[in-house]
Amino acid sequence: MPAIALRGSYTQLAGVDQLDFNTKGVDLSISKGFAMFTPYGGIGKVWVTGTPKNIPTTTPSEESFSQNKYFVGVNMNFVLINIALEADKTGEDTSYGLKLGFRF
């Protein structure tokens, strides 16, 4: 049977005095393992909110928007090594990821 997951996320920018910035997200993914390979894919949505602060020459104005998100990847488990490849498209931006893990 394939695995189905619902995930929520929240991020908050820290260390920048001139900007309050956070994101919230939710996505739904599906995966199915075959021997040492587990392909997966999913869809979701990300909400972004940013407000400038501590800037004397401008009036702070909150900016909010949302972006659709799509992703696909494969997780490969070898004896002591785990490798994950992923492609993600959020709005108009595409990113690619490679993760390497060691299992012991």
Domain range list for the chain: 3-102
CB 20 within 8 A of CB 51: yes
Q: What pLDDT, on the 0 to 100 scale, is given for residue 104?
A: 83
Q: Which tokens in the block code for residue 68?
A: 């659709």
Q: What pLDDT, on the 0 to 100 scale, is given for residue 60?
A: 66
Question: For 83-103, what is each residue's pLDDT tens digit?
Answer: 999 999 999 999 999 999 998
Burial of 76 (0-12, 13-18, 19+ CB in 10 A): middle
Question: For 20-72, what is each residue's pLDDT tens digit?
Answer: 999 999 999 999 999 999 999 999 999 999 998 877 766 668 899 999 999 99
**What are phi and psi for residue 60, nearest 5 degrees?**
-55, 135
Tell me the whole-structure pTM to 2 decimals: 0.82
Q: What pLDDT, on the 0 to 100 scale, is given for residue 103?
A: 86
